[in-house]
Structure 1
């Protein structure tokens, strides 16, 4: 349900192999957001490195909502979860649980290795951490984020 709230969204892709032109997941997120009349403040790509991820968050900090894609796998190089841990003031555990449930229905038990996360920061930024595949970001955006984004913000502002 779209409310009278105006939300701005920053998109951060975390990848050692993508740039703005080849970042299909970031482009997908941006297209879905703009199709729903929401505002994208900026879209950037950083390497899968803790310091680079922190720098990316700093660049996007003016947005109300931050959506990341990539760097959430189980490879040793995937450090997105570790990079965002210090930013978590209040986790929204149902997001990751529902994401894996929806993924399980589509890809089976491989979904157990899918790390996704939603949380609020100390200064009330809503952050969604998504895997890097276009299918994963489409699933998360259409089935979880867009249906609940206004509700989550309203709850946090109570």
Structure 2
């Protein structure tokens, strides 16, 4: 059940960038990136940019900085690289740049994940926050995790959070 203490702006469309962080996926095999785009589109939001980047901190930071300068984007959704394996660097690249964090995002996501996958949820370093006036989400790369986080956290709050950033 989703609770909305304040109504969202009616008909507001959020323009999102979808960035898949992976050393192995291609546009054809990026099921999670495709799923994020599909779920956003189905709920009336737009995809202003989509790409894949290698799990290299400099490439991830560069992508975040470049996209945050674009006036046509409201939110950036990164997927992949949030675990603790040596090549999982998304959290490390993004966390240090965030000007504000939304600690509840990662906490609630891990709680929801725990209900689905058990104690392995502790390895997820999902994070959300604000950078240069843009909403930033970094989520695991598995399609099940993407579906869970989009449907239960990101989509229900996307309009509200972007409205707050815009001061409306």
TM class by shorter-chain length?
Answer: over 0.9
**Alignment-derived partner of residue 154 in structure 1:** 163
Distance in 2 between residues matched to 1:21 and 1:51, nearest whole Å: 24
Give the Å deviation of 1:124. 1.1
Aligned CA-pair RMSD: 1.4
**Alignment-derived partner of residue 46 in structure 2:** 39
> What is the TM-score of this pair, normalised by structure 2?
0.88
Distance in 1 between residues matched to 2:92 and 2:51, nearest whole Å: 19
Contact 1:48 1:79 in 2 (8 A): yes
Kindly report which structure 2 residues correspond to 1:84-123, keeping only aligned pairs within 5 A, or say none: 84-121=94-131, 123=132
Contact 1:95 1:144 in 2 (8 A): yes
Give the Å deviation of 1:55. 2.9
Give the Å deviation of 1:153. 2.0
Contact 1:20 1:45 in 2 (8 A): yes
Q: Which moved more, 1:4-13 or 1:66-75?
A: 4-13
**Alignment-derived partner of residue 4 in structure 2:** none
- Is 2:91 the partner of 1:51? no
Give the Å deviation of 1:58. 4.0
SS across alignment from 2:13: coil
**Alignment-derived partner of residue 139 in structure 1:** 148
Give the Å deviation of 1:57. 2.1
Aligned residues: 157
Distance in 2 between residues matched to 1:21 and 1:57, nearest whole Å: 23
Distance in 2 between residues matched to 1:33 and 1:40, nearest whole Å: 8
Q: List structure 1 runs of 4+ shifted beyond 4 angstroms.
A: none
> What is the TM-score of this pair, normalised by structure 1?
0.93
Contact 1:26 1:69 in 2 (8 A): yes
SS across alignment from 1:106: helix
Return 5+ residue gaps in structure 2 as ranges: 1-6
Distance in 2 between residues matched to 1:128 and 1:144, nearest whole Å: 11
Distance in 2 between residues matched to 1:157 and 1:55, nearest whole Å: 24
Return 5+ residue gaps in structure 1 as ranges: none
